Structure formats: C-alpha cells, structure tokens
Amino acid sequence: MATTDYDYLVVGQGLAGTSLAWHLKESGKKILIVGDSSLPSSSKVAAGIFNPLTGKKLVKTWLADDLFPYANAFYTSMGQELNCQLLHSASIYRPFRSIEEQNTYLAQTADPGISRYISQDTVAADLTDYVHAEFGGLEVVRSGWVDLPLLLNKTRDYFSMNGQYMHSKFDVADLQFENDSLTWKNISFGKVVFCQGFMALQNDFFNWLPFAPVKGQILDIATEKAVKPYIVNQGIFMLPVSEHVCRVGATYSWDPLDWEPTEQATEELESKLKSLIKIPYSITSASAGIRPSVKDRRPLIGVHPSHDNIVLFNGLGTKGVTLAPFFANQLVEHLENGKELNPLVNIQRYFSLYFR
C-alpha cells in the first residue's frame, strides 16, 4: 500500500468529528481534521444533556446501559487530558403532571431496567420553591450534561497545537482519487471520514441517505432566585449552568430549516417555561441549530457502497453526546480491525437507495 501523509482526513469538527478524531488519535493513527468555524454547527448550540429515561412514558434510552458508562469514561478522560471539566453530573427532576402520572411512573420504577436510573434516596428532591410540582416529582440519576462549547474549543486548540487541525472550507470536488489513496490540497490520505452534520445533505457521496433534519431553538435565561443543580424536564428542559443562569429548550420545527432564532419559537418556549417555574427571569439570548436527524432515528455510520476509503459518521440527532463516543469507538474498530458495526447504525441498511 502506498505511503500517505495521513491515515485519515476528518471533515468537520463538531461533536461527531471531534469524538472520532480523538479515538483515532488514541489508536495511534495520523490524522488531520479540517474545520470551518465560520459555518454554523448544531454542536455549538446543543445543551449537551444526557438523559437515560426519555419521553412522556418514561422509556429507557436506546442502548443506555452501554452508551452512558462509555460516555462518562470518555468525557472524564478527555477532560483530564485537556485540564478542564467537560462532564457535569446532574439529576433530572421530572415533576408529575397529575396523580395519575405519579402512579404510572412509580409503578414503572419497579422495572429493574428502569429502577437503576431512578434515585433511591428516601428524601426526594424538593424544588417546589421555584418549580410547579404540586404532585411531587421523579428524580432521574446517571444523567447530566457535557459542556460542548468548551469541548469544541479545547479540542480544536489541542489538535491545532499538535498539527492535526486545519481551518479551511472543504469542497468535495477538491477530493482526488489516487489509486488506493485520496488527495486533498496536495496532501494524501488513506481514508476520508465525513462528519459534517446537516451539511451532509450537500455532499454528493452521501446525500442519497434519508436524513430528516429538524431545527431546534434554545434560550439562555437569568433567574432572580438561585436555582439548584438539577435539570428540570417536563415538555421542555431547564438546565442550570450556574446558580442564576439556565438554558431552556428545545423546540422542534421543519420549516424553515435555517439557523436563525424566531420570535415564535421563543414564545413557545416561554409559555412552557412559565407553566414549569414560578420565579422571575429574563431572557439573555436565543440560539437555533439544525439537528442532523434520520428518519429511523438511528445514526448513519459506515463505508460508502462504491468507495471503501470514503466513510460517514453522522446522524447523531438529539442524543449525540452519548452516541458519539460509543459509535466513534465502534467505527474505529470497524475500520482498523474489521469488527462489525451495529447493523442498526450501519448505512448498509440503506444501500438499496444508492443502487436504484
């Protein structure tokens, strides 16, 4: 095999690209990340919450028993190497909407698969001084949030310092095939992995895949009263990043798919927030992003059907903070050691769309 300048070119330095690049680095591969910080990124906007029990019916997150311990170890180790705190453990408080919901949820907690994610403390969390919780609430544990803006900034600095990051626009048309390698800007690579999030819809190699992007908006608010370090979740989330600063989200919309916050989405979040909390607050900012979601709600990961050195790592959607580390590791194992990808994330499940 011809010698290349780098083993891998990683296109995109959002959460997906960063997680993959970190795993490749750890496995001793020579990598170059190309990122364009002028482009919008859903990773910069996302609150970074990881929640093992989601939905109105208290459903355990897909693969939670595998994803959550792996993510915990990954972000802890990365934070130690970067000398910063990326991972913040925080219980999620879910106020009951009614006595019926209280009874239903408490009955569900008898399920051993769910009970490990519920606080067993005899003294339940009490947030009634600022949260509407007339019927009490459930405390979900093994949850928390990852400081994604800090992670992206620190890792970009780290990779830059080690000559592994280039700030540049990337055009797929500039990629040249050379026998068993690829060339971009006169640099040769063994493989290229596209981690472009929503931008993958403009990538001719992978735009045939069934992406179902969705726009989300969040607010930053300042509260007059200090709040406790619990994420509150009931229809929306309220994430305290400090005693008087919270992030509130998120909306789901499909038209228009742009990166601009709207008054309509702000009003939607405010109406839900006012029914959730009973303390004064002020909105300090609003931001929006486009989640790279998929129709079957599973990531899109794997090797291109016609080019074995073109790879995709995308479609992480709303649960990216836990999916990214686990499946970055699985993808590296697949590419380097031939281990099978989980068929539920492997893009092979959609090859029929490519070969039409």
CATH of the domain at 237: 3.30.9.10
**Is a pLDDT exceeding 80 seen at residue 124?**
no
Same domain, 128 and 223: yes
> What is the domain count for the chain?
2
Same domain, 223 and 110: yes
User: If you count DSSP H runs as helices and E runs as strands, how many of each does the chain have, helices first?
Assistant: 9, 20
Q: Which of 256, 291, 326 is the last residue of a domain?
A: 291
Asked whether residue 57 is domain-assigned, the answer is no
**Is a pLDDT exceeding 80 seen at residue 122?**
no
Return the percentage of the chain with pLDDT > 70, whole number.
99
Asked whether residue 12 is domain-assigned, the answer is yes
**What CA–CA distances, in Å, run from 59 to 119, 124, 200, 231?**
16, 21, 30, 18
70 membership: H or E segment, kind and range: helix 64-82
pLDDT (0 to 100) of residue 208: 97
Q: Cα(75)–Cα(144) distance, rounded to whole angstroms?
A: 12
Same domain, 154 and 252: no
- Burial-class residue 30 by CB neighbours within 10 Å (0-12, 13-18, 19+): middle
Band (109; pLDDT cuts 50, 70, 90): confident
Maximal CA-CA distance, the chain: 68
pLDDT digit string (tens) for 15-27? 999 999 999 999 9
**Is a pLDDT exceeding 60 seen at residue 261?**
yes
**Which residues are CB-neighbours of 110 under 8 A, at least 6 positions away?**
none
pLDDT (0 to 100) of residue 248: 98
Same domain, 282 and 153: no
CB distance 248 to 238 below 8 Å = yes
CATH of the domain at 33: 3.50.50.60
pLDDT (0 to 100) of residue 35: 95
Asked whether residue 190 is domain-assigned, the answer is yes
**Is a pLDDT exceeding 80 seen at residue 1?**
no
Q: How many CB atoms lie within 10 A of CB 235?
A: 11
Q: Which residue is it, tokens 């909407």?
A: 97
Q: Which of 291, 313, 345 is the last residue of a domain?
A: 291
Asked whether residue 54 is domain-assigned, the answer is no
pTM of the model: 0.95
**Which residues are CB-neighbours of 149 under 8 A, at least 6 positions away?**
44
**Is a pLDDT exceeding 70 seen at residue 105?**
yes
Q: How many CB atoms lie within 10 A of CB 317?
A: 19
Return the percentage of the chain with pLDDT > 90, whole number.
89
Same domain, 199 and 138: no
pLDDT digit string (tens) for 184-239? 999 999 999 999 999 999 999 999 999 999 999 999 999 999 999 999 999 999 99
DSSP 296: T
**Is a pLDDT exceeding 70 seen at residue 59?**
yes
Asked whether residue 109 is domain-assigned, the answer is yes
Domain of residue 111, residue span: 91-142+214-291
Averaged pLDDT score across all residues of the chain: 95
pLDDT (0 to 100) of residue 38: 82
pLDDT (0 to 100) of residue 123: 72
pLDDT digit string (tens) for 63-79? 999 999 999 999 999 99
Asked whether residue 74 is domain-assigned, the answer is no
pLDDT digit string (tens) for 286-311? 999 999 999 999 999 999 999 999 99
* Backbone angles phi and psi of 300, in degrees to 5: -115, 105
CB distance 161 to 167 below 8 Å = no
The pair of three-digit structure tokens given for residue 150, joined into one six-digit string: 């800090």
pLDDT (0 to 100) of residue 55: 84
Same domain, 245 and 193: no
Band (2; pLDDT cuts 50, 70, 90): low
pLDDT digit string (tens) for 33-50? 999 988 888 888 899 999
